Every structure is written in structure tokens, then in C-alpha cells.
Structure 1
Amino acid sequence: MANPHSKITAVDPVWDQIKRDAEKAVRDEPLIGGFVHATILHHETLEKALSYRIAAKLSSNEMSMMVVREIVDQAYAADPGLVEAARADLVAVFERDPACHRLLQPILYFKGYQAVQAYRVGHYLWANGQRDLAYFFQMRVSEIFGVDIHPGAVIGKGIMIDHAHSIVIGETAVVGDNVSMLHSVTLGGTGKEEEDRHPKIGDGVLIGAGAKVLGNIKVGHCSRIAAGSVVLEEVPACKTVAGIPARIVGEAGCAQPSVSMNQILGSWGE
């Protein structure tokens, strides 16, 4: 009969792999040992490591690291879905970004991943009525990462933002699950509307670098938006659009464009 007082250790293969990656990184490059220990190896769980990393990046003279970390810890404790999404995002980056060779990398080095996790905490604060605190998180994410995501935006799981420079996502934007986008993407409005005014991006969409999707329009699931396009009208599911203004130029070409990350228009028939 099992001892009712015995401690049950949770199995967490993702976190275990991250720690193995971290230990190897320290062996290979001892000069980063203090950084890796503080960020990864001193923590018992992924959520504790993430709260430390977010606090280290967002803290300033205006709000201490201790206070930011307490806010993140409380959010993670109240909403386990935040950590679930963080795991899905981590796997998405590892699987889709050819520059990512270890699960450790996004947590330590990739500002797209870090910015999205900080946004998620800000969105939690927004949804729970802590609007000024949410704005503070938005401000710091913009200042530190060059990524401006309004805390009111709704973003699904399995998100990969590659390079993540100059990303803008508006207040009433909705982004589905398993979406990939590159740098300089804007999901914005078209003027001074104050109600529902931002795009609704379906699941599995791939948005190329520099693309602008403007207005309260729907982008259908598993579609592709070519780099540099300006999208002003609804995009049907499983299509490729390109141009200024964007027009349908062909099929999406595969079941999951956001996973394949193939951005070459001529690679699938137009």
C-alpha cells in the first residue's frame, strides 16, 4: 500500500530537457554560468523560471524586480492556462524556427517568446480589471522588446513570432492558435474607430515580414499573408494573399502554413 505521506514528484519532460540544456550550456561556456543558474537552474519549475525572466527584463527604477516577479507569480498561480500557453509557445518556436536548436534558447535569448509571455501576464491583469498595471506591462514590453501588444488583445496558444522587431497588435485584435508571424507585422485599425476595430486572425495562419492587416476583418484559418502585403479585406480560409492592397494569388498549399513556414509564393501553384 502506498504511503499517503510520500511526496509525489511530477514528471515534466519539457522542464527536464530545459535543465539538461542549461547544464550543458554551463559546461560548454562557463562564463555564462551565473546567468544560466539565475535564470534556469535555481528554479524548480518552468513557471518559476519564466516569472524570474519576465521580472528581470521588465523591472526598472519605476517598479522593482521583486514586485514584478510577485505579480507574475500571482498571475501564474491564479491562471494555469498562462503556463500552458507558455509551453505551447515554447514548443512552437522550437519546432518552427530553424535558428532554435534547444528548448533553452527562447527563454534565455528570444525576445519574441519573452515578449509574448509578458503580454500574457498583462492580458491576465487587463481581464481582471487591473488596467493600469496591464498598461505598465505593455509599456515595458514595448520599451524593452520593441513589441507593442495591447493587453486587451486576445492571443491563442502555440504562437511563434520570429525576430519580433516592430510588432504591433491592437486592442480588439484576436489571434487564433498556432499562428506564426515575422518581424514588422501590424494588426491595426484604419482610423479613429473606438469599438471593435482590429483584425481577427484564424488558427494556423502564417503572416510574412512587414505585412499589415488593417481593420475589423477576418483572416481565415490556415491562410498565408505574403511579406509586405497590406490586407484590407477578408481573407478566405486556406488561401494565399499578396500585394498592396492584398489579393488572392493562390491556395495556401498545405494544411498548416504556420508550421511549414514556407513563404515562397511560387513554391505552391498560384
Structure 2
Amino acid sequence: MSDSLSRYPNPIIPEQNAMNDPRNTLASGPDSHEINLDALWMKIVDESRACCDPLLGSFFNACVHRHPHFSAALADIIGRKLGDTSISPSALTHLIQETYRHSPPLVSIAAADLIAVMMRDAACSNLVTPFLFFKGFHSIQAHRIAHWLWQQDRPFLALHMQSRISEVFAVDIHPAARLGQRVMIDHGTGVVIGETAVIDDDVSILQAVTLGGTGKIEQDRHPKVRRGVLIGAGAKVLGNVEIGEGAKIGAGSIVLENVLPYTTVVGNPARPVGIKHKDMPGISMDLSLPPIDYVI
């Protein structure tokens, strides 16, 4: 990671280990209120200027260089991607900017999400890459707008946003679903999160994960995912079950019951394996599994 943040008065990245690589630390990343948004934006601009491909010059200018700050650029990116004949990109961008104006914490939370992606994703060594190119990050930020609209009693506009997120990013999150901060959806394709689902801080979700219901129950019917959980690719968590803090769900597992904190579960149906771990897999991104002595 570049040390160019050292010239800023309030660093936005937690102190790193001796290797100075954000992916080697188990720190979750800063809380949204701790982030210096001006320093974050200067860092993104610096990284974008390091791109030497002339074919991307106009792209970087449109998405980064012409914007005065982080929230303006993020609103423009989401508006461009999700705008259509129903709501034009410019109108949607304006809606998102107004949402950020009415709810400033959404901007800081987006910044916290972005830093979390850089720190956890082994394929990412900077901020500008997920900011411009990672649809998992984009889908979460678009959902946060839809959720705010849902809370403001604008359900059809929120549902329109949900529909566009699903069409463009292949990520389907009901606008009523509640997400904490420093949440990462990696790759994103095929992720489904139901209406009454709750995802706490520092959770990481890989592609093709479903947090779904088990029928037509109208009440609380979707999973509650606690802090620091890691959900592997293709896992299905169904019903009003609680995935305890720091738990890990193996790829392809079908979870139908509560999962205890700091426990690894795998299989169909999922069952605990190995001994309890001590770290937060959603932060460390430890995808390893203990020895398994049965056929999954």
C-alpha cells in the first residue's frame, strides 16, 4: 500500500503491521465517524492519476477528476450505472446526491465499506479499483439509497432501485433489509438478501449467497447475521435463524438452524466442524476449513 496518506493530518487507514500490507492486518477498519473524507478522496484521485492507459483518460475524468468530493463521484457512478428510460442517469444522480445531503452518515459508511474491501480482498491493493469497478461495492451503496427511500415512505422508488440493482449487478437486496457498516459483498453475482434480513458490521459475503425465507410467513422470516461473519460462495441461509458473531459458513452449505458464535459450519444440512476459532473470519477472510470426517 502507498504511504501517500502520511501527508494528511488524519490517516484513514488503520496502522498496518511490519509488512505494511492492509491485507495482512486483522483490524476491521475505521468506524465511519473516524474517516477523513477529504483525505480519502485525495487518495482516490492520486491513485486514478497513476493510471497511464490513454484509453481510460476520459473515463477517469468523468468518474473521478471532475468531481469535487467523494459523495459527488459515488452518486455519479451509481446514477450512471442504474439510470434508464424510467429515471435518467442525471435524475438518479441528483436523487442520490439529495439523499446524501439529507443523510450524511451514508457517505461515511460508504467510505468505511470501501476501505473494508481494500483491506480484505486479496485482488485489491488500492481504493480506486473497488470504487470504480467492483459491483459488490456498488450494489451495497445503491441498496443503502434504496433503504433510505424505504424508510422515507417512498416504497415504489425504493423497489425501482432494487429492480435496477438486480438487473445491472445481479444482486437482489430487498430495500427493507438492514446492513451494518464495513460490509463486503465479493464478486456479487447471484447474492439474494430478503426483506427482514439483518447484517451486522464487518460481515463478508461471497457470490451466490442467499439469505432467504422458508415459505410465505409474513413476519420476521430471514436470517440475522452477526458481526464478523464470513459466508462462503453459494451458501444458503434460510429462515429466521441467527448466525452468531464470528461464525464461518463453508461454501455451498445449507444452513437451516442457528449457528453458534465463532463456529464453522459446512454441509447440507450444515453442521459444526472443528473447534471454535478466535478470530473474525469476516475481517480476516480466512476461508480455510478444519479436517472433515464425513461426506458433505
- TM-score, normalised via structure 2 length: 0.85
2:189 and 2:287 map into 1 onto residues whose CA distance is: 18
Match of 1:69 in 2: 93
Give the secondary-structure state (helix, strand or coil) at the position aligned to 1:265: coil
2:172 and 2:37 map into 1 onto residues whose CA distance is: 36
Are 1:224 and 2:248 an aligned pair?
A: yes
Match of 2:50 in 1: 24
| Conservation of the 8 A alpha-carbon contact between 1:115 and 1:147 | yes
Match of 1:119 in 2: 143
What is the deviation of 1:252?
4.7
| Conservation of the 8 A alpha-carbon contact between 1:222 and 1:252 | no
- TM-score, normalised via structure 1 length: 0.93
1:17 and 1:128 map into 2 onto residues whose CA distance is: 33
Match of 2:10 in 1: none
2:291 and 2:45 map into 1 onto residues whose CA distance is: 39
Counterpart AA for 1:72:
I
CA displacement 1:157-201 (0-9 Å, x = unmatched): 001111111000000000000100100000000011111100000
1:134 and 1:143 map into 2 onto residues whose CA distance is: 14
1:252 and 1:208 map into 2 onto residues whose CA distance is: 17
1:11 and 1:138 map into 2 onto residues whose CA distance is: 27
What is the deviation of 1:253?
2.2
Match of 1:139 in 2: 163
Q: Gaps spanning 5+ residues in structure 2: where?
A: 1-35
Match of 1:186 in 2: 210
Aligned-pair identity (%): 46
In angstroms, what is the RMSD of aligned CA positions?
1.4
Counterpart AA for 2:56:
I
2:160 and 2:114 map into 1 onto residues whose CA distance is: 24
Runs of 4+ in 1 over 6 A off after TM superposition: none
In the comparison of the two structures, how many residue pairs are matched?
257
Distance 1:251 1:84, change over 3 A: farther
| Conservation of the 8 A alpha-carbon contact between 1:94 and 1:101 | yes
Question: Which of 5, 9, 12 is the aligned partner of 2:38?
Answer: 12
Give the secondary-structure state (helix, strand or coil) at the position aligned to 2:50: helix
What is the deviation of 1:74?
0.9
| Conservation of the 8 A alpha-carbon contact between 1:48 and 1:73 | yes
Q: How does 1:159-198 map to 2 (within 5 A)?
A: 159-198=183-222
Give the secondary-structure state (helix, strand or coil) at the position aligned to 2:272: strand
Counterpart AA for 2:240:
N
Q: How does 1:42-121 map to 2 (within 5 A)?
A: 42-121=66-145
Q: Gaps spanning 5+ residues in structure 1: where?
A: 1-9
Question: Which of 251, 257, 266 is the aligned partner of 1:233?
Answer: 257
Question: Which of 268, 279, 284 is the aligned partner of 1:244?
Answer: 268
| Conservation of the 8 A alpha-carbon contact between 1:224 and 1:252 | no
What is the deviation of 1:250?
2.6
Are 1:129 and 2:116 an aligned pair?
A: no
| Conservation of the 8 A alpha-carbon contact between 2:254 and 2:268 | yes
Give the secondary-structure state (helix, strand or coil) at the position aligned to 1:266: coil
Question: Which of 242, 263, 267 is the aligned partner of 2:287?
Answer: 263
Are 1:211 and 2:200 an aligned pair?
A: no
Give the secondary-structure state (helix, strand or coil) at the position aligned to 1:213: strand
